Amino acid sequence: MTRISVIIPTNRSPETVAPCLRHIAGADLAHEVEVLLAVNGDAMDMDWGQVAAGLNLCLIRQPHAHIGAAKNRALDVATGEWVFLLNDDVFVRPDFFDKHLAAHDRLERPAMVLGASLWPDWPDATVFDELIAQTPMVFFYGHMRSGKHYDFRHAWNLNLSLQRRFLREDRFEERIGPFSYEDLELAYRLDQRYGLKVYYEAQAVAVHRHRYTWRQYIDRETRMGAAAWRLGAASPACFAALYGTSREDLLAYARAYVGIDGRFEGERSDRFEVIVRQAAGVIHDYPPEWLRLLYDAHIPLKRLAFRRGYCAAAGAEVTGAGSAVVTSLGR
């Protein structure tokens, strides 16, 4: 039996995913690894024959661009004792698998092990890159300590490992898709059923080569809001654990919030983007307080984007003095 099953969902081209696979092939213990590449969406019909060098690679074609369904199809054929859940844009270090397994060996009881996913040092780094890397805009590694346990909110699937035996009865919830929250919702159920927590191992490093622009970041927040509405339908208990309220109560709050604060959203978003762009030329000269100020300034816009997406997925129109009408993103 293969010791390690690495599951990577992707809807991107072979050329884009190839660096991720090369780093796995060059890692220690690579000979004990099977890579289950769950290809979905437009990538299904591409030629993947050139990316398997040095790997025990299984290509799984999933017709719909849905990350939870893709990972479930990969779990159907996984044979490893250990399952590693990775993104297609992370580059593992040579000792990556060793560090994960060593962390599991140290544990007194089973857990999900979360490794550190570092942002790259971009040669042309912008202030927005620094914001992403040094503040909790996307992940909040800065608030975590290696060797400590955390709850299901930290079970990010770009760098996570656990024993496959815990995934025989519980799978990813496919009603949440196409992306976001499927990892946290599964982790919530694993905690409820088995008491599995998230154990953070900072030495299990993978570099996360994903770069955001301001507009891409805001679009991500909108889509996460839409996914949150679907999460509430699929798993009310997990939703309540995440947000401390019901799906309907959050909808009422979100509609009121967007109706009041959304009046100047476009203007404020444009202004924030201009400030970040103008600051790019002094990236090495700004005081550290700048990043904190920019982070604080972006929070209202982040919340608006999330709540707009949430309302849209619910099919709830939101109008206010000068605010845009939120149209449906589907349920």
Q: Where are the domains positioned within the chain?
A: 4-208, 214-313
- Number of neighbouring beta carbons within 10 Å of residue 206: 23
Higher-pLDDT residue of 326 and 252 is: 252
Mean predicted confidence (pLDDT) in 221-245: 97
Per-residue pLDDT at 198? 98
Report the alpha-carbon distance of residue 246 to residue 267 in Å, rounded.
32
Stated pTM of the model: 0.90
Per-residue pLDDT at 66? 84
Report the alpha-carbon distance of residue 151 to residue 143 in Å, rounded.
13
Per-residue pLDDT at 275? 78
Residue with tokens 């024993």: 163
Secondary structure element (H or E) that encloses residue 222, with its range: helix 214-234
Superfamily of domain 4-208: Spore Coat Polysaccharide Biosynthesis Protein SpsA; Chain A (3.90.550.10)
Mean predicted confidence (pLDDT) in 106-114: 97
Assign 31 a pLDDT band (cuts: 50, 70, 90): very high
Peptide bond into 178 cis (omega under 30): yes
Give tens-digit pLDDT for 178-199.
889 999 999 999 999 999 999 9
Mean predicted confidence (pLDDT) in 188-217: 96
- Tell me the β-bridge partners of 132: none
